[in-house]
Structure 1
Amino acid sequence: MSTPVPEELLAARERFTRPDALGFIRGARVPTGQRRAAVLILLSKGADGYDIPLIEKRPDLRTHAGQVAFPGGSMEPTDADAVAAALREADEEVGVPPGTVEVLGALPDAHIPRSGFDVTSVVGWWGDPRPLVPVDTAEVAAVHQVSVASLLDPAHRSTWMLPGGFSGPAFALGELYVWGFTAFLLDGLFDLLGWTQPWDASRVTEIPGRFLRERP
């Protein structure tokens, strides 16, 4: 039986489209209106509250090798809008049927200087979750169903810092290390939903090499 959208998520819909929502997502830039992409932040009922699927990119990719991200990718000419793009990508990458997702809203577009894309982050509810595996094996090495409670645990939170001084929030779950734009999105989403627990932002952790590699 499909689980209906929890009341707290229904009540939060209007927060996703707030004009100042990007203020919660540190590291984003003003969109350029050129190259567009979309990702799906998919919440579902888990054993300990909510779960969110994250993908781990293949370690031999030319860009973003080994990094952890939400399902998503570039918008195609056939996509009606960013929501359609996010649902299509989640289906193609990890096999989430678009018809099983209830879209709750989308965060304002954020420009990512490193990739040059304006990214729309679509928030959805998956009432009938099932185990996921990589479908696009040329891109995705693994799929991780991550507990939101574990992401919120202050013991799993820290700050990453690059040699040039740029820094941001990190989430470390065992061998899994989430940083970069994905971590900014999680950090901002949790703030928007009022879920964030106090954590020590002065604690800096090193980004493991397998999550940092770029091919020449």
Structure 2
Amino acid sequence: MILQKQAIRLSSSYSAESILSPENRSKCLKCLQSVPMPKTKPNRLQPEASVLVPVCIDDKGETSILYTRRSGLLSRHVHQISFPGGIKDPEDASFEDCALRETEEEIGLPRSRVEIWGSGPMLKPPNAASIMPVYATIRNLNLNELKLNKVEVESAFTIPISELASPNNFRYTQFKQSYSGPVFIVGDKRIWGITGIMTHNFLQCLLPKEESSKRPIIKYIRPYRAK
């Protein structure tokens, strides 16, 4: 009986009713403006990009996040897990428009299925495009409705937020001559790099305080260098 009550309480902590209310979404967006970011020196000549960070809601009100695995046909970051998105085109009216266009091109999800509720702040990794995360909700997603562009995307899948929020699935990595960053390992899925940073910061701000406080805080510290 006690375990059943704990399971119900845990499930409700990550339900759409709990974390996607207008008040909590507003709080999340405000929080994201002040989360720590890696201290890097971005290349101003790099382009700008946008990705969609989609929270999926099933018919029971439970939440998950939609990810893609990059195709082996690409020239960079092959087979790595990412969010749908890409470089902002001159024809894109906004970063939100870019994220919707790229999502439809990559996984065949019409923009009419996506409810955008916020964006930012911009991430500026070194030697790569600056990335604007766009936060959205997708209701009753059936993965079978997606039409993957196999040149860009190998697969698409969702991971329950309850799994991403579990300290048991959290690690960190130290990049060579760069910053430390969060890593999520759920089953055979490994989420790291910029996608790991965006996931970590998003959950820190989206989840209830009593849940986010259980998760480790990653300090973006550059390694010691001998003089």
Measured against the shorter chain, the TM-score band is 0.7 to 0.9
Superposition TM-score, scaled by structure 1 size: 0.79
Task: Kindly provide the amino acid, as one letter, of the partner of residue 82 in structure 1.
Answer: F
Deviation sequence 1:132-174 (CA, Å, 0-9, x none): 5452211111111111111111111111123436321100011
Structure whose CA Rg is larger: 2
Please tell me whether residue 103 in structure 1 is matched to residue 116 in structure 2: yes
Number of corresponding residues = 196
Structure 2 portions without partners, runs of 5+: 1-15, 219-227
Q: Select the residue among 38, 54, 63 that pairs with 2:76.
A: 63
- Tell me by how many angstroms 1:16 deviates: 5.0
- Tell me by how many angstroms 1:52 deviates: 1.1
| Structure whose residues are more often helix by fraction | 2
SS of the equivalent of 1:63 reads coil
The residue that corresponds to 1:158 in the other structure is 171
- Tell me by how many angstroms 1:96 deviates: 1.4
If asked which structure has higher relative contact order (CA below 8 Å, sep 6+), I would say 1
SS of the equivalent of 2:102 reads helix
State the Cα RMSD in Å.
Answer: 2.7
The residue that corresponds to 1:214 in the other structure is none
- Tell me by how many angstroms 1:192 deviates: 1.1
Deviation sequence 1:16-60 (CA, Å, 0-9, x none): 543x73542532658759621100011121468211110111234
Q: How does 1:108-187 map to 2 (within 5 A)?
A: 108-115=121-128, 117-132=129-144, 133=146, 135-164=148-177, 166-187=179-200
- Tell me by how many angstroms 1:67 deviates: 1.0
SS of the equivalent of 1:44 reads strand
Question: Identity over aligned residues, as a percent?
Answer: 23
Deviation sequence 1:95-121 (CA, Å, 0-9, x none): 211011111110221212131x12111
Q: Structure 1 residues 98 and 6, CA, compared in 2 at 3 Å: closer, same or farther?
A: farther
Question: Which deviates more, 93-102 or 80-89?
Answer: 93-102
Please tell me whether residue 40 in structure 1 is matched to residue 46 in structure 2: no
Do the aligned residues in 2 keep the contact of 1:103 with 1:122 (CA within 8 Å)? yes
The residue that corresponds to 2:214 in the other structure is 198
Do the aligned residues in 2 keep the contact of 1:42 with 1:53 (CA within 8 Å)? yes
Task: Kindly provide the amino acid, as one letter, of the partner of residue 155 in structure 2.
Answer: A
Q: Structure 1 residues 134 and 156, CA, compared in 2 at 3 Å: closer, same or farther?
A: farther
How far apart are the structure 1 equivalents of 2:176 and 2:123?
24
SS of the equivalent of 1:129 reads coil
Do the aligned residues in 2 keep the contact of 1:153 with 1:197 (CA within 8 Å)? no
Q: How does 1:9-24 map to 2 (within 5 A)?
A: 9=20, 10-15=22-27, 17-18=29-30, 21-24=32-35
